[in-house]
Amino acid sequence: MKQLLNNNRKLVSFLTSVFWIPLVFFCAQMLYPIRNGSLFFYVFLCINLLLIVWLVDKISKYLTKRVDKKNIFARVLKQCLFGFIVPFTVIILLLLTYESFASDSSAHRIYCKKNVAIIAAFLYVANGFQLVLYVDRQLFEDVVTTEQIAKYNERVLVYNKGSYEPVNLMQIALIYQTNQINWLVTFDDEEHILDLSLREIGDILGAEQFFKINRNQIVNRDAVKRFRTGTFGKIELSLKVNSLKVTVSKDRAKYFRQWFS
């Protein structure tokens, strides 16, 4: 399961740039047409609009850390307050201060009102953009949690002391093969014989939580305590269970790092 917008940081950065840079140039042109003024002031406006985007982004990240994820209404309310109302109020106060020293003509007042509307729309879009990212992230986390619960309830049969018994998939720490026999190791450090082949159990486990580190071993992500680079490009793992030597083969080392991170 992948997020809609938060799937890849580089992709998100690219899409964000594609979205915001043209919008910033457009709003700056609406606020202060470059054909009627100096290039310096136009660039100055663009920089300030980018600063607004940066500020709203920082506010959104701060609120995401501080506000209870379950209370979405409070999150949206605080985003509107600190990301829209407060900055917009500051801008209005600065504009009123400017008007007190500027021309009092009707044309000038109309021009200022138009600029206020543009800035309000820009702030609205900036906050809406952050809320879309937030909702996307929350939906992703909810789906992952649901999938983990479903996965935890799935079971596989193992042979233990003359009988078969079920083991939940998320209790599996390690699966390894020795002398053509497949062994399943749980997080309780119990070992059971597994009738399924490594390919069959690999298809059941999936690649999200489990990784086949070599021809004979499959490891659970949560079972990895630490790892270090070994000889000949291999990776040596230290597990939370079992004293068995566990090594990621050279041809799988790169993919293991990507999977684990």
- pLDDT, position 174: 92
- Report the candidate in 20, 25, 19, 18 with the shortest Cα–Cα distance to residue 45: 25
Residue 24's pLDDT band (boundaries 50, 70, 90)?
confident
Of 105, 124, 151, the residue that ends a domain is: 151
**One domain, residues 51 and 63:** yes
**One domain, residues 146 and 159:** no
**One domain, residues 26 and 95:** yes
| Residue 22 is assigned to a structural domain of this protein | yes
Of 151, 184, 204, the residue that ends a domain is: 151
String of DSSP letters for 93-110: HHHHHHHHHS---HHHHH
Percent of the chain, pLDDT > 90? 8
**Measured distance CA(226)–CA(238) in Å, rounded:** 5
| Residue 31 is assigned to a structural domain of this protein | yes
String of DSSP letters for the chain: ---SSSS-HHHHHHHHHHHHHHHHHHHHHHHS-GGGS-HHHHHHHHHHHHHHHHHHHHHHHHHHHHS-TT-HHHHHHHHHIIIIIHHHHHHHHHHHHHHHHS---HHHHHHHHHHHHHHHHHHHHHHHHHHHHHHHHHHHHHHHHHHHHHHHH-EEEEEETTEEEEEEGGGEEEEEEETTEEEEEETT--EEEE-S-HHHHHHHH-TTTEEEEETTEEEEGGGEEEEEE-GGG-EEEEESS----EEE-HHHHHHHHHHH-
Span 32-37, mean pLDDT? 65
Check whether 222 has a pLDDT greater than 80.
yes
Check whether 43 has a pLDDT greater than 60.
yes
Tokens 């996307």 -> residue: 136
Q: What is the pLDDT of residues 132-174, one digit of tens each?
A: 888 877 777 666 666 655 555 578 889 888 889 988 888 899 9
Check whether 98 has a pLDDT greater than 80.
no
Span 111-130, mean pLDDT? 84
Q: Residue 117 belongs to what domain range?
A: 9-151
| Residue 163 is assigned to a structural domain of this protein | yes
**One domain, residues 58 and 134:** yes
Of 121, 151, 181, the residue that ends a domain is: 151
Residue 2's pLDDT band (boundaries 50, 70, 90)?
very low
Question: How much is the pTM?
Answer: 0.50
**One domain, residues 128 and 231:** no
| Residue 221 is assigned to a structural domain of this protein | yes
**One domain, residues 165 and 124:** no
- Could you tell me how far CA 258 lies from the centroid of its own chain? 15
| Residue 211 is assigned to a structural domain of this protein | yes
| Residue 3 is assigned to a structural domain of this protein | no
**One domain, residues 120 and 211:** no
What is the tally of structural domains in the chain? 2
Any idea what the CATH number is for the domain that residue 160 is in? 2.40.50.40
**Measured distance CA(156)–CA(196) in Å, rounded:** 9
Q: What is the pLDDT of residues 181-201, one digit of tens each?
A: 999 999 988 899 998 899 888
Mean pLDDT of the chain: 81
- pLDDT, position 20: 81
- pLDDT, position 4: 47
**One domain, residues 123 and 201:** no
**One domain, residues 72 and 197:** no
Lowest mean pLDDT among 3-12, 78-87, 139-148, 195-204: 3-12
**One domain, residues 143 and 71:** yes
Check whether 27 has a pLDDT greater than 90.
no
- pLDDT, position 194: 92
**One domain, residues 143 and 25:** yes
**One domain, residues 19 and 110:** yes
Residue 218's pLDDT band (boundaries 50, 70, 90)?
very high
Parallel, antiparallel or unpaired: strands 235-239 and 224-229: antiparallel
